[in-house]
Structure 1
Amino acid sequence: MFHFWRTVISGPEAKVNIIGFDVDDDGQKQLKQVAEAGGGNYATVRDKSEFEDVILKKWKPSIFQLIGTQGVQLHEYVDQMERLQNIYGPLYHASEREADRIKTAVYYLKDNKLISREDGTEVSDKAEEMRILRTDHFKAIKEEKDAEAKKAHEEIDAKVQAWKDKWYKELENE
């Protein structure tokens, strides 16, 4: 006895299709219940030929399913980029505000002669170095995450396109 599960994901829903090889009556009933509970179908087959018929003819996606199948949809990609920007933006602005507060404090201390001009310049220069260092670090992380997201997007789209191409060929051969 052998079972073959095929999960089909379309949108947020998944379907569980099951093929049983040489399954007794009780086993068929159980597998059919599992498939129905998973929103899918159950089929029983006796040999490789019947298996191929079920996969290629009975369960083959329709042209409308193929057309409707997307990889990463644009709005999902944009949402992900927006979430990344929502992390990057506040970090960048907090860094800028910190640098501004330090500069303002240095001006106050110099104007009230609480520190020398040289010490004030040294503190301002260090604050600017740290601001640049943070900004460069945040940009590098953002660019790395942008590249990772783009690569994942392209890989998913390529896999979906390969799947669609395979099934388009099968539809043409009918």
Structure 2
Amino acid sequence: METCGGDPVKAAKTLQDANIKAKVKIVGFDVDHEGQQQLKKVAEAGEGTYTTVSNQSELQSEIVEKWKPSIGQLVWTQGVTLVDTYNAMKNMNDIYNPLYQLSTNEKIRILDAVRFLMSEKLITEETRAQVSELANQMDQIRQEEFKKIKDEKETEREAARKEIEEKVVAWKAKWQ
């Protein structure tokens, strides 16, 4: 019997009308006739099914056996695929490579400007050497920082991949 002051049939119908593509599957355990009728209406409104069970064995059979993944699902569930790994690495490189290139280009522009100023005798050799050294140092600092961030993100990606793989292996083991 509905005891929460709501309308479960209306809620199941709203779920279906929202185009969520959910199925309301209800297993009634030790439910009287009137309660079964209510649960059937909720399941129908949710485009699902209602089943009644009377003991633990029937409950086990209804849930585990009917909801158990097929052999095909077990075989084809791989976790993180090679394509997923490749795409994640490509996305990282799509961010990292332009940063690397921009930093290198900035250093080259500074060094070119310093050479030009030197050739026009607008700065001394000592100033040229100092500015060139600073440009190289700044480039190195940026490159090290970019690499550090890339390595951290790569470590996070690999940890996430391992976690997903472990969950998939555990899920498969549960059902085999």
TM-score, normalised to structure 2, is: 0.78
Question: Is contact 1:31-1:42 (8 Å) kept?
Answer: yes
- C-alpha change, 1:16 and 1:152, in structure 2 (3 Å) is farther
Q: Quote the offset at 1:139 in angstroms.
A: 0.5
After alignment, is 57-66 or 121-130 more displaced? 57-66
Could you list the runs of 4 or more consecutive aligned residues of structure 1 that deviate by over 4 angstroms after TM superposition? 14-17
Aligned amino acid, residue 28 of structure 1? K
Distance 2:83 2:53 in 1: 41
**For residues 2-151 of structure 1, what are the structure 2 equivalents within 5 Å?**
16=23, 18-21=25-28, 22=31, 23-34=35-46, 36=48, 42-151=50-159
Give SS of 1:20's match. Answer: strand
Q: CA deviation at 1:165?
A: 1.1
Cα contact 2:22–2:46 (8 A) shared by 1: no
On the 8 A contact 2:53/2:59 being kept in 1, the answer is yes
Tell me the matched-pair count: 155
Once residues 107 and 140 of structure 2 are traced to their aligned partners in structure 1, the CA distance between those partners, rounded to angstroms, is: 10
Q: Which runs of 5+ in 1 are unaligned?
A: 3-13, 169-174
Q: Higher strand fraction: Structure 1 or Structure 2? A: 1
Q: Could you tell me whether the CA contact under 8 Å between 1:35 and 1:42 is conserved in 2?
A: no
Q: Which moved more, 1:118-127 or 1:41-50?
A: 41-50
Shift of 1:117: 0.9
TM-aligned CA distance change 1:17 to 1:53, over 3 Å: farther
Q: Which runs of 5+ in 2 are unaligned?
A: 3-20
1:85–1:42 distance in 2 versus 1, CA, 3 Å: farther
Equivalent position of 2:169 in the other structure: 161
CA RMSD of aligned residues (A): 2.4
Hey, what's the Cα distance between the residues in 1 that align with 2:145 and 2:65?
54
| TM-score under structure 1 length normalisation | 0.79
Deviation at 1:144, TM superposition (A): 0.6
Question: SS at 2:46's partner residue?
Answer: helix
* Offset at residue 105 of structure 1 (A): 0.3
Paired with 2:158 and 2:37, the residues of 1 have a C-alpha distance of 49
Provide, for residues 49-100 of structure 1, a one-character-per-residue CA deviation record: whole Å limited to 9, x for no partner.
Answer: 3221112222211211110112112111211111110000000000000000
Larger-Rg structure:
2
